[in-house]
Structure 1
Amino acid sequence: MTRTTGYEPLFTLKPVAPEIWVVDGPILKFYGLPFPTRMVVVRLTDGGLWLHSPIQMDDGLLQALAALGPVQHLMAPNWIHYAFVPDWQRAFPKAQTWAAPGVQERAGSRGLALRVDHQITDHAPDAWAGQVDQLVVPGSPVHREAVFFHRASKTLILTDLIENFEAANLPVWLIPLAWAAGTLDPDGKAPIDMRQTFRKGREAARGAIETMLSWEPERLIMAHGRWYETGAMAELNRAFRWVLR
Structure 2
Amino acid sequence: MQDSTEKWQAIADGVWSLSYHFSNAGMQVSTRMTVIRLADGGLFSHSAVPLSPAQKAALDAIGPLRHIVAPSAMHHLFVGKLAKLYPQARLYGTAGVLRKHPDQPLLEPLPAGHEAPWVGELQCIHLDGIPMLDETLWFHPASGSLIATDVLQCWQGPLSLPVRMYLGLAGGHERLTVPRTVRLLVRDKAAVRAWVQQVKNLPVQRVILLHNSVIDVKSKQRLDEALSIWD
- Corresponding residue to 2:11 among 11, 16, 39: 16
Q: Is the 8 A contact 2:15 2:34 kept in 1?
A: yes
- Corresponding residue to 1:194 among 164, 182, 185: 182
Q: Is the 8 A contact 2:30 2:211 kept in 1?
A: yes
Percent of pairs identical after alignment?
24
User: Which is further off, 137-146 or 188-197?
Assistant: 188-197
Shift of 1:230: 3.2
Match of 2:200 in 1: 213
Query: RMSD of aligned C-alpha atoms?
Result: 2.1
Shift of 1:61: 1.1
Q: Is the 8 A contact 1:37 1:224 kept in 2?
A: yes
Secondary structure in structure 1 of the residue aligned to 2:57: helix
Shift of 1:165: 1.3
Where structure 1 has 5 or more consecutive residues not aligned to the other structure, the ranges are none
Match of 2:129 in 1: 139
Shift of 1:16: 1.3
* Counterpart Cα distance in 1 of 2:37 and 2:172: 30
Structure 1 residue runs of 4+, over 6 Å off? none
Match of 2:163 in 1: 174
* Counterpart Cα distance in 2 of 1:119 and 1:126: 11
Match of 2:117 in 1: 127
Q: Is the 8 A contact 2:21 2:28 kept in 1?
A: no
Match of 1:235 in 2: 222
Q: Quick one: structure 1 residues 35 and 114, their matched pair in 2 at CA, closer, same or farther if it must change by over 3 Å? A: farther
Alignment of 1:77 onto 2:71: yes
Alpha-carbon displacement from aligned partner over 1:139-170 (angstroms, at most 9, x marks no partner): 0231111111111101111111112112x321
Secondary structure in structure 2 of the residue aligned to 1:102: helix
TM-score (norm 2): 0.91
* Counterpart Cα distance in 2 of 1:192 and 1:114: 33
Alignment of 1:38 onto 2:38: no
* Counterpart Cα distance in 2 of 1:122 and 1:30: 32
Shift of 1:38: 0.8
Q: How many residues are treated as equivalent by the alignment?
A: 230
- Corresponding residue to 1:150 among 132, 137, 140: 140
Answer 1 or 2: higher relative contact order, Cα 8 Å, separation at least 6.
2
**Matching residue's letter, 1:175:** R
Q: Is the 8 A contact 2:98 2:108 kept in 1?
A: no
- Corresponding residue to 1:100 among 90, 94, 102: 94
Match of 1:204 in 2: 191
User: Which is further off, 99-108 or 81-90?
Assistant: 99-108
Where structure 2 has 5 or more consecutive residues not aligned to the other structure, the ranges are none
